[in-house]
Amino acid sequence: MPIPYYVSPEQMMQDKAEYARKGIAKGRSIIALEYAEGVVLVAENPSASLNKISEIYDTIAFAGAGQYNEFENLRKAGIRYADLKGYAYGREDVTAKSLANAYSQTIGTIFSQELKPLEVEILVAEVGEAGQPSEMYRIQFDGSIIDERGSAAIGGQAEELKQFLRDKYEPALSLEGALKLARRALEAAASQKAKAQHLEVAVLERGRPGRKFRRITPDELNALLGSGEGDR
């Protein structure tokens, strides 16, 4: 009979955390910024069809960094959670806070109980309506949850991006201004040019009736980032 070897809980958690961090670091980063009319999410994503940013509910968006299959599953779970809650109660009872908490619980449980932790970091953003502030929650691989204001970043270079945005971000930017800032941040963190066709951009627009989520099309993005400049 093989002797079960002993690993201290500290060691085990450390190993898992390191494993997850490594996995996430391989992926590219995502930025969310509050701007004058809502929240804009910008991801570096060379694929045009596999999304990193998507809609969860009327006012709530989701972004995932790390392993695609893992955050894709979390995205679907979030939509199921939100639609079920909105159907059972009311549409305005679905909030980013409760969704972020549910994610945090789930990811935290998987981190402590399963052999392999999730190699993902996710962001839940909600645009505030009629004078309410917007909310952004960053949920890490171990289930820890961070409440962000103004700007948020997830993924391998989250810390560098956060550092950059801390100095440069200002509230009530125009969409154009916010997009340019996001691109500069991504370029600074990766120290290479961010091509416009490799950016995935979506907004939660306060002024839209009903579902606030809208993807920015490549043409629109080129126009916003300045033609010619965007095609480098």
Partner 1 sequence: MRLFLEPGLGSSFSELLGRCEPGLLPRFAVEGAEGAAHPAGPPPGADAPHGTTILALQYRDGVVIAGDRQATEGYQVAHRRIEKVYKADDHSAIAIAGAAGPCLEMAKLYQTELAHYEKLEGVVLSLEGKANKLAQMIRMNLPAALQGLVVIPIFVGYDLRGDGGKIFKYDVTGGRYEEIDFYATGSGGKDARATLKRIFRPGFDEAEALRAAAEALVDAAEEDVGTAGPDFVRGIFPTVKLVRRDGIADVPDARVREVCQQVVEARRRAA
Smallest gap from Cβ 206 to partner 1, in A, equals 19
Interacting stretch for partner 1, rule CB under 8 A, among 75-83, 138-146, 150-158, 181-189? 75-83
Maximum separation of any 2 CA atoms in the chain, in Å? 69
The DSSP bridge partners found for residue 202 are 41, 215
55 binds partner 1 (CB under 8 A): yes
Smallest gap from Cβ 32 to partner 1, in A, equals 19
56 binds partner 1 (CB under 8 A): yes
Tokens 């560098």, residue located: 160
* Residues within window 23-52 making contact with partner 1, judged by CB under 8 A: 51
Interacting stretch for partner 1, rule CB under 8 A, among 18-26, 74-82, 138-146, 219-227? 74-82
User: Which of 22, 26, 76, 149: binder of partner 1 (CB under 8 A)?
Assistant: 76
Smallest gap from Cβ 76 to partner 1, in A, equals 6
- Which residues, including other chains, have CB under 8 Å from residue 47's CB and lie 6 or more apart? none
Q: Which two tokens stand for residue 128?
A: 């505030």
* Residues within window 77-106 making contact with partner 1, judged by CB under 8 A: 77-81, 83-84, 86-88, 102-103, 105-106
User: Which of 32, 74, 136, 203: binder of partner 1 (CB under 8 A)?
Assistant: 74
Tokens 């606030």, residue located: 212
User: Which of 73, 95, 163, 222: binder of partner 1 (CB under 8 A)?
Assistant: 73
Give, to the nearest 10 degrees, the angle between helix 158-168 and helix 175-190: 130
- Which residues, including other chains, have CB under 8 Å from residue 214's CB and lie 6 or more apart? 202, 203, 204, 205, 208
Answer yes or no: are the C-beta atoms of 24 and 155 closer than 8 Å: yes
109 binds partner 1 (CB under 8 A): yes
Distance CA 138, CA 63 (A): 9
Amino acid at 146: I
Positions in the binding site for partner 1 (CB under 8 A):
51, 54-56, 73-74, 76-81, 83-84, 86-88, 102-103, 105-106, 109, 211
